Chains A and B, each alone.
Chain A
Amino acid sequence: MQRILYLLQKEFRQVFRDRTMVAIMFVVPVVQTLVLGSVMTTDVKNIKLLIYDADGSAASRELGGRFINNPYFHFVGYAESAADIHEALDKWQAQMGLFIRPHFGRDLERGLRPEVQLIADGLDGNTAGIALGYAQGILTSFGQNLTVIRPTVVPLVSETRLWYNLNLESKHYMVPGLIGLLATTVTMFLTSMGLVREKEIGTLEQLMVTPIRSSELMIGKVLPFVLIGLVEINVMMIAAFLIFKLKLAGSYFLFLGVSLLYFLTTLGLGIFISTLAETQQQAMFIAWFFMIFLMLMSGFLTPIANMPEAWQNVTYLNPLRYYVNLLREIFLKATPLQFLWREIIPLAAFGALILVASALKFHKRVS
């Protein structure tokens, strides 16, 4: 016990001696929460729109005006010809073109169903899809308001109510995921590099000749990062509240509890990586490799339901998947513990398995 304490003291001194490191660990997460929270929105705004009104009638100007006044579109100007629209798309000057053909107004009055053309830049499929959705909405409401043809059949309308996230704030969904991601970065990367560093600069031998046991060495090297990780997630929770007014809806102790369970995994991986790598560079690249897997297969950025079936099955092997899910449930929905076992049990099982296996491997390596 005494020996672990000494080691802890040494580790903390090493970590806090370097001002840059302290800044990276505590300032960066806050800045990131701030930036990412406001950027990570898949809302589509300011769609650059070009209009070619070849008709110039009252009806066509009215339709054009509805697009121009719509907050989702950013009107960049009128085109002189249909070719202008294509050129503007080529040059990245517009993302969508609205083309109203000659005689639109006249044909509309005569009930001839004139054609309106939308030309979209499909490069970013998601943005294009959403932008076309907006455009359709404007066109539909324009059509409904026309008194030219009185419909014989009244339309069905859907009234939509959104739960949990009334203003569709994507940051509220993203921030809990971010906590998971940064907790991974800090604990896994730093543990693995900290252990390898001793190897690389040759101080591991010095530690080995001291009476310290390999299990004590491991605990002493890992424990500081558990504490730093815990402080870190609290800092982020407070930052999320101060910056985004995102309140932890569920239980705080549940939040801490599942975080500790998740640390079993990241620390285990950190130890495991340290047994594979000889230099810090290698450790970093291997850790990064795990990181990419954890991040992409967790549903943090993109919904798991969108992935191909086979990949969806792979995500069940990913502890971060369970952790991000848990964080979201606890932060946003205040889901009680009784509904969370499906996530908690695999998280704990993976954590225990990975940590024990890595510890054994580390023990063998050091002896």
Chain B
Amino acid sequence: MNRIIPIIRKEFIHIRRDFRTLLIIFFMPVFMLLMYGYAINLEIQNIDLAVLDHSGSPTSRELVAAFQGSKFFTPRYFSGSESAIESLFQKGEAKAALIIPADFARTINGPVPTAVQVLIDAGDSNTAQLMQNYINAVVQLYNAGRGVTAPFEVNTSIRYNPTLKSAYFFVPGLVALILMMISALLTSLTIAREKETGTMEQILVSPVRPFEIIIGKVVPYLFLAFADGILILLIAHFWFNVPITGNLALILFACFLYVGVALSFGLLISTGARTQQVAMMSALMGTLLPTVMLSGFIFPIASMPKVLQFVTYLVPARYFLPVIRGVMLKGNTLFHLWLPLGALVLMGTFFLTISAKRFKMRLEV
């Protein structure tokens, strides 16, 4: 124990001396949160809709007005043939096209359902899918206006996030991403740096034990990253107005645990890497993409291929996300969340033990 404290102190001195890194550590999450918070928005509005109105009648203009009336579409009339649409898509002047047949005004009141044709630039499949939904909604609304009604009424209630705000979903997710990256990147470089600059030998000849070095290296960054976590939560709550419905202490406890896991993961990378460059690239590849892609941060796990669904069990953020989202938005308690929290404890212990083992092996070599 006595030997751990000097190591902690030494790490703190390193951190304090490196003012630039310190600045980045605190400035970066704020910057990221603001950028992400505003940049990630999966709703689309004002889709450019090219209208080829072969009918040119008051009835067809009514339909176009229904599109105009929704906030999703900005219709613009184009004359010409359907082949002109391809170049409209290529030039990016339209994302979708509505083609109204010449006999529209006559057939719409006839005995068989009339069809209008919609072309969608599906290069971006997500947007295309949303556009399809919006078009259906507009058509349904138009039909309802003409007196076509369903024989029953649908009542929709949306819980936890009634206005379907993206920020409510992404901002707690960002806490997971930022904490993981900051923590893993910070520790991944510490041991690699000692090796690269040659100070490792000095540590090796001192009487400290591997586990003491490992703990001594983790503790300072634990505080740093935890402070970062609190900063992010403050911004999430006060700037993005994400409510905290559950227990604040539980959130903080979960953050602390998660930061610990992330730091141990960074350390694990560090013990294996010979240079800082390798450590950095491994940490970047090992944290950024899995956390963004394989944790449910943006893409729902249930929609992934089966094999990758199993891989998600190895990603720490997978366990942290339901905790932070659950406590902040659903008011979940420890009773609901002991399983993911337990998984985090296991992961952290595992990473730390392996790091200490691998570190010892290097010592003997």
- Contact between A306 and B330, CB atoms less than 8 A apart: no
Asked if A214 lies at the interface with its beta carbon under 8 angstroms from chain B, I say: no
Q: Which residue, B47, B126, B132, has most C-beta atoms of chain A within 10 A?
A: B126
Q: Beyond A118-B157, A301-B40, A333-B90, is A282–B18 a contact (Cβ under 8 Å)?
A: yes
Residue A305 at the B interface, CB < 8 A?
yes
Binds A, one of B117-125, B213-221, B222-230, B356-364: B117-125
Q: In the bound complex, do residue A162 and residue B35 qualify as a contact, i.e. CB atoms below 8 Å apart?
A: no
A306 vs B45: C-alpha distance when bound (angstroms):
7
Residues of A within 8 A of B326 (CB): 92
> B289 is contacted by which of A36, A124, A129 (Cβ under 8 Å)?
A36
B343: interface (CB < 8 Å): no
Complex alpha-carbon distance, A303 and B158, angstroms = 25
Question: Assuming A159-B116, A333-B90, is B303 touching A307 (CB within 8 A)?
Answer: no
Q: Beyond A281-B21, A296-B36, A306-B42, is A166–B302 a contact (Cβ under 8 Å)?
A: no
- The total of chain B residues at the interface (CB under 8 A) is 116
- A residues touching B (Cβ–Cβ < 8 Å)? 18, 20-21, 24, 28, 32, 35-36, 38-48, 74, 86, 89-92, 104, 108, 111, 113-130, 132-133, 136-137, 139-140, 143-144, 146, 148-149, 151-166, 168-170, 172-173, 185, 189-190, 193-194, 197, 200-201, 277-282, 284-286, 288-289, 292-293, 296-297, 301-303, 305-308, 311, 328-329, 332-333, 335, 339
B193 lies within 8 A of A281 (CB)? yes
Query: Which residues of B, 160-199, contact A by the 8 Å Cβ criterion?
Result: 160-166, 168-169, 181, 185, 189, 193, 196-197
Q: Which of B282, B325, B329 is close to A24, meaning CB atoms less than 8 Å apart?
A: B282
Do A161 and B118 touch (CB < 8 A)? yes
CB of B336 within 8 A of CB of A164, answer no
Judge whether A139 and B154 touch: CB under 8 Å: yes
Closest A-B pairs by Cβ, 6 of them = A125-B164, A143-B150, A122-B161, A42-B126, A162-B122, A122-B158
Residues from chain A with a CB closer than 8 A to the CB of B132 are 160
Report Cα–Cα, A150/B193, bound state, in Å: 77
Contact between chains at B41 and A306 (CB < 8 Å)? yes
Of B1-9, B140-148, B253-261, B344-352, the segment with at least 4 beta carbons within 8 Å of chain A is: B140-148
On whether the beta carbons of B280 and A189 are closer than 8 Å, the reply is: yes
- Would you call B46 and A38 a contact (CB within 8 A)? no
Please judge, given known A-B contacts A155-B148, A302-B40, A311-B38, whether A125 and B125 are in contact too, CB under 8 Å: no
Output the nearest chain A residue to B335 by Cβ-Cβ distance: A91
CA distance A139 to B153 in the complex (A): 10
Asked if B159 and A308 make an inter-chain contact with CB atoms under 8 angstroms apart, the answer reads no
